[in-house]
Amino acid sequence: MFKSKVEDLLQNALNERQDLFLIDFTMSTSNAIKIVIDGDRGVLVEDCIFISRAIEHNLDRDEYDFSLEVLSSGAASPLLLPRQYSKHVGRNLEVKTNNNTIEGTLKSIEDNGITLQWKTREPKPVGKGKVTVNKEASIAFNDIKEAKVKIKF
């Protein structure tokens, strides 16, 4: 009953703000509510406050004892939904699949996956030494076990 009321309030808030979307929603047996959101253009503190107020201001504290935490998906958090990739085009990602780990620049997003591009040093086809080669790989979302943005300082 209480959980479905919170879910309805959350959905109404997300319907009002189409640029925000849900990453995770948990509620403990002691009514500790944790909501993780992301946004097409990132998440500001004001966005978390908006979601928090949309829920908290519509619940009666005399009727329900609860705690509410609204967080943004952190910079070091893995990308979990295809929708999260679009704001990271041009950034470096580390993508783990069943077979290997690829680090490269996110070049594009398709309906079913992503395309990464990177440079590597390989032996020259003829003679001694190495040459820099551009590589590219298309990876289906279904094959991605984990993808993280590689932050460089």
What does the alpha-carbon distance between residue 87 and residue 71 come to, in Å, rounded to a whole number? 18
Cα(36)–Cα(16) distance, rounded to whole angstroms?
17
pLDDT confidence of residue 153: 73
Q: What is the pLDDT of residue 109?
A: 96
67-72 sheet: strands from edge to edge:
20-27, 32-39, 67-72
- The CATH-assigned architecture of domain 2-72 is 2-Layer Sandwich (3.30)
Q: pLDDT at residue 81 above 90? A: yes
Helix/strand/coil for 56: helix
Residue 127: is its pLDDT beyond 90? no
pLDDT of residue 27: 96
Give tens-digit pLDDT for 47-72: 999 999 999 999 998 899 999 999 99
Q: From residue 70, how far is each of 23, 58, 145 by CA, in Å?
A: 11, 15, 26
Q: What is the pLDDT of residue 61?
A: 86
Domain with CATH 3.30.300 in the chain: 2-72
End-to-end CA distance of the chain: 47
pLDDT at position 76 is: 80
**CATH architecture of the domain formed by 82-149:** Roll (2.30)
Residues of CATH 2.30.30.100 domain(s) within the chain? Answer: 82-149
Q: What is the pTM (predicted TM-score) of this model?
A: 0.80
